[in-house]
Each structure stands twice: as C-alpha cells, then as structure tokens.
Chains A and B, each alone.
Chain A
Amino acid sequence: MSEQEPQELPEPGPPAAPQGRVLAAVAAGGALGALARYGALVLWPTPGGGFPWTVFVVNAAGCALIGVLMVLTVERGRVTHPLVRPFLGVGVLGGFTTFSTYAAGVSDLLVRREALTAMAYAAATAVAALGAVWAAAAGTRAWLDRGPGGSGGEGRVA
C-alpha cells in the first residue's frame, strides 16, 4: 500500500488513519455485517422460486443507513473519527448488503423460468435501494439543516 492517500472526495472528510487499522476496522465490520445478513436469512428464509424478500429488505435497509452515515461523515463532517466510515460504511454496511446474492437471485429466478419475478426483483431492488439512499441522505441533510446550520451551536430559530 502506498503511503500517499489523496482524498477521493472534495467534502470535509475524516482524517486518514493508519492503513493497518483501517483494514482491521473494515474486516471487523465486514464480519458483523455478514453475520447480520446471515442472521436475517436464517430468521426469514425465502423459498426458491419466490421473491427473495429477505435480501431485498437487507439491501434496502443497508442503503438507507449508508445514506445517513455518508452525510454525517464525508459530506458534513459531523462524525470525524477516522475509523467510523471504514468500520460502519465499508465494513458493516458493505458486508450487510450484497450485490452477488442479488445477482445470483435474479439468475436463479431466470433459470427457474420465473422471468416476471426475476425482473420484478431486479427492478424493485434497484428502485428501493436508490430511493432509500436518496431519502435517507435528504432526510439527514434536512435534519442537520433544521436549525442554524453549519458547525454553529444549538441556537434557536426565532
């Protein structure tokens, strides 16, 4: 790994942490996120050939949560600990949500000749995920902007 780490985003972001600690945070978060997804699948198994509701809900929920997280960290700098985004964003939420299971789910439905369900699942996940991240990010921004914004104190709006 190179030592120089240019910021990939122009907004105020958390300071860089040592790469080893970042990787450890990502790994720990990934384990927790994958466990949470597995737990959801154990609790709410979906039969083959049907709409994979559990993965659908997992992905939509993870997208809503990353919308909140990214506004609080990268966009607004309200949470500045350098390991928060690697742990919660890249690790937990990245490990919780999944693209491979989604793609395999669509493929499986196609192979079972459940084309309508396959297309509904493919489209509904994309729409729900994008809708969730948009609504959550917009809601968090609005919540942060509710008073006198910026990094000012908790002054009242007259």
Chain B
Amino acid sequence: MNWLLVAIGGAVGAPLRYLTDRAVQAHQGTGVPYVFPWGTFTANAAGSLLLGLLTGVAVSSPAHALLATGLCGALTTYSTFSYETLRLAETGRTLLAGANVLASLLTGLGAVFLGAELTGGFGG
C-alpha cells in the first residue's frame, strides 16, 4: 500500500517541480544561459517547507508515504541542483555556484524549521 502511495506522490511531485521550474524560468526570462537556477531553488524550498509542515503534525504512515516520501521527495531534487551548480562553476560563475549551494542549504533548513514551527514544532 505504501509503495503505491509513494509512486502517486512521486508522480505528482516531479511534474510540479518541472512546472515550477518552467514558470520561474518564464518569469525571469529564458534564453539567458546559466543564470541563477531559481526554478530548482524554488521547488526545493517549497518542498522543504511542506515537509516541515508535515513534521509538525504527526501524520500516519500512509500519509507520510504519499506526502513526505513521495510528494516532497520528488518535488525537491539534489541531482538537478548539483548539475546546475556544476554548470555555474564550469562557466566561470564560481561565486554564483557557491551562493547556490549555501542559499539552497540555508533556505531548505530554514523552510523545514519554519514549517515544523507553524504546525506545532518538532515535538509535535
């Protein structure tokens, strides 16, 4: 049962990340190669916030499989994040690459804490 829920969550989370990335890129204007990867940054921050919210409310195992493992897991990504960071570094934007790593980590952490705080804290 949990396997099916993880699959459903993943099947929703990944397209949400794709659409988020497209929407953010359309907003900042495409065609400019290797600008700061705001799309992935946004998806990672949103998924981390949602996972934090779930941490605060003690959810059941099936809900955790669907929303935390499936949806939040697939809405966020480490692979695209690291490839985009690599491309920034390889195109001479070392500072942006470092900023992407630091900002993504700090924002992700902050989003988890904020989400958990909003719904009752880590003890919840």
**Chain B residue with Cβ nearest A123:** B105
Evaluate contact between A38 and B3: CB separation under 8 angstroms.
yes
**Chain B residue with Cβ nearest A62:** B79
Evaluate contact between B10 and A32: CB separation under 8 angstroms.
yes
| Residues of chain B from 1 to 38 with CB closer than 8 A to chain A in the complex | 2-3, 6-15, 17-19, 22, 25-26, 30-31, 33
Evaluate contact between B13 and A95: CB separation under 8 angstroms.
yes
Evaluate contact between A104 and B52: CB separation under 8 angstroms.
yes
Q: Report the count of interface residues on A (CB-CB < 8 A).
A: 58
| Shortest Cβ distance from residue A28 to the other chain B in the assembled complex, whole angstroms | 7
Interface residues of chain B: helix, strand, loop or mixed (majority): helix
Please tell me if A79 contacts chain B, counting CB pairs below 8 Å: no
Q: A34-B7, A103-B51 are in contact. Are A98 and B78 (CB under 8 A)?
A: yes
Evaluate contact between A34 and B74: CB separation under 8 angstroms.
yes
Please tell me if B104 contacts chain A, counting CB pairs below 8 Å: yes
Please tell me if A122 contacts chain B, counting CB pairs below 8 Å: yes
Interface residues of chain A: helix, strand, loop or mixed (majority): helix
| Shortest Cβ distance from residue B71 to the other chain A in the assembled complex, whole angstroms | 9
Residues of B within 8 A of A89 (CB): 79-80
- Cβ-defined partner of A38 (8 Å) among B14, B31, B69, B78: B69
| Residues of chain B from 21 to 62 with CB closer than 8 A to chain A in the complex | 22, 25-26, 30-31, 33, 44, 47-48, 50-52, 55
Show 9 residue pairs from A and B whose CB-CB distance is below 8 angstroms, ordered by the A residue.
Answer: A32-B7, A59-B78, A63-B79, A66-B80, A89-B80, A97-B79, A99-B81, A100-B108, A126-B101
Binding site for A on B (CB under 8 A): 2-3, 6-15, 17-19, 22, 25-26, 30-31, 33, 44, 47-48, 50-52, 55, 65, 68-70, 72-83, 85-86, 101, 104-105, 108-109, 111-113, 116, 122
Nearest 10 CB-CB pairs, A to B? Answer: A30-B14, A34-B10, A103-B108, A99-B76, A97-B78, A95-B74, A66-B79, A31-B11, A99-B44, A31-B7
